[in-house]
Amino acid sequence: ADAGLTDRDRAEIAEHEAMGLGPQGAPLFEKAAGLYAAAGDPGEALAARARGAYVRALACDPEGALAEVSGPYEEILALYAEEGTGLRQTASVLMARARVLMRPVHEADGPVDPRVLAAAEEAAREVLALVGGRTGEDVRLAARSAEARAMLAEVAA
């Protein structure tokens, strides 16, 4: 079935399948990460791992998800600083982390711990600082910027 497909092709297929599975898609994000790494794209591999962490947060495990996204977050910042990956991949990891940090805000029935709000706000601001004014024609970066602004509005409410 995979005849003629590159590692990148298989990674994209695995991610597409994972996105349709919600929290059950986490193993496919890991598979995609391995395939992106094999294809020589460490930034996209980290982004896939971060997306897997976010779906873990959706499965009501925000603490585990935060621990899981911390590695890709640290690695992507270092890789981006060394020009080893692009803006889009870096923004994807930062947004996944911000989404993980927003889960407790979304799930709260009452007042949210100010430290939780501060962490979510800081993560959203970090996305904006990265992509702000650099979205150009890239609709994905524009979407990241819009989502980060919505997060800030939600945290401020």
pLDDT digits 0-9 by tens, 15-43: 999 999 988 999 999 999 999 999 999 99
pLDDT score of 2: 59
Q: pLDDT grade, residue 1 (50/70/90)?
A: low
Task: Return mean pLDDT, the chain.
Answer: 92
What are the residue ranges spanned by the domains of the chain?
A: 7-156
Long-range contacts of 13-19 (CB under 8 A, 24+ apart): 15/48, 15/51, 18/51, 18/52, 18/55, 19/51
Model pTM above 0.75? yes
**7-156 is a CATH 1.25.40 domain:** yes
